[in-house]
A = this chain, B = another copy of it.
Amino acid sequence: MQAGAVAPAIFAPVITGRAEAGSDLILVCEHAANTFPAPWGDLGLTAEQRQAHIAWDPGALGLMQALAARLDATSVAATVSRLIYDCNRAPDMPGAMPTKSEVHEVPGNAAITPTQRAARAAAIYVPFHDALHGLIAERIALGRRPVLVTIHSFTPVYFGQKRAVEFGVIHDADDRLARAILAGAEATSGLTCGLNAPYSAADDVTHTLRLHATPYGLANAMLEIRNDLIASPEAEQAMADRLAPVIAAALTDIKKEG
């Protein structure tokens, strides 16, 4: 390297898209990537396992970016597999660095020490949430109180059971936005919808909302799309076409209600 050059980071733990977007909406995708960078590597998983829903939320990143473009939103995405660190889990939750996901053992997580857990949290979880917090604080200071929506996908078959729900809307303490999105989706999207399905806050899936939306009283919701409906770039765009007007209308609704 030349004098003064800085060694590149091993990986960037977060990618912010459309940072200068004009709307108040911030979209978040904690499970955007199935990347297994050094120093953690593949955790002893097969290539097939690293492609599967246990490693990430397939389609969620593409859908989020398509929604961000349609809704003039900023997006924040994690960049490593949830099996290395799941940014939607606090560091002491079993799912943060799971030893098993659905029916799959995760060998590289079987015997990690507290120090290794702390190192993963420091390298992945903390900078991801610092970036999101910095963005939220900036927007609030500018007088642009954001609305926070997390984008997820779920597998059509889980523990051998088929799931009928196609679109789930999940809320934590504040259900205003979730109920507005659900009502719109039921009325116009043609999707089989569910409130707090296939998961709910009781399953510890609303960590990001609790960490960033609740303390500031920001409207928020978590969206779950069945991943067979967003299995190609074209399908992601088509789903964004269906959901963007629903989300836009819900944002208008809750603004009217104050």
Contacting residue for A143 out of B92, B207, B216, CB 8 A: B92
Contacts of A115 in B (CB 8 A): 142
**CB of A39 within 8 A of chain B?**
no
B133, A129: Cβ atoms closer than 8 Å: yes
Contacts of A133 in B (CB 8 A): 126, 129-130, 133
Identity of the chain B residue whose Cβ is nearest the Cβ of A211 in the assembled complex: B215
Per the 8 Å Cβ criterion, residues 204-236 of A in contact with B are 207, 210-211, 214-216
> Is the contact region of chain A dominated by helix, strand, or loop, or is it mixed?
helix
Identity of the chain B residue whose Cβ is nearest the Cβ of A212 in the assembled complex: B215
**CB of A105 within 8 A of chain B?**
no
A137, B126: Cβ atoms closer than 8 Å: yes
A141, B129: Cβ atoms closer than 8 Å: no
Stretch at the interface among A9-17, A66-74, A116-124, A184-192: A116-124
Contacts of A129 in B (CB 8 A): 133
Identity of the chain B residue whose Cβ is nearest the Cβ of A134 in the assembled complex: B126
Give the number of residues in A that approach B within 8 Å (Cβ atoms). 31
**CB of A175 within 8 A of chain B?**
no
A114, B137: Cβ atoms closer than 8 Å: no
Identity of the chain B residue whose Cβ is nearest the Cβ of A138 in the assembled complex: B118
**CB of A179 within 8 A of chain B?**
no
User: Other CB < 8 Å A-B pairs besides A92-B145, A215-B215, 15 of them?
Assistant: A3-B3, A3-B4, A90-B137, A90-B216, A114-B141, A117-B143, A118-B138, A118-B141, A121-B137, A122-B141, A130-B133, A130-B134, A133-B133, A207-B215, A210-B214
Closest 6 CB pairs of A and B: A91-B141, A118-B141, A121-B141, A210-B215, A117-B141, A91-B140
22 A-B contact pairs sorted by A residue (CB < 8 Å): A90-B137, A90-B215, A90-B216, A91-B137, A92-B140, A92-B141, A92-B145, A114-B142, A117-B141, A117-B142, A120-B141, A121-B137, A121-B140, A121-B141, A122-B141, A126-B134, A130-B130, A133-B133, A207-B215, A210-B214, A214-B214, A215-B215
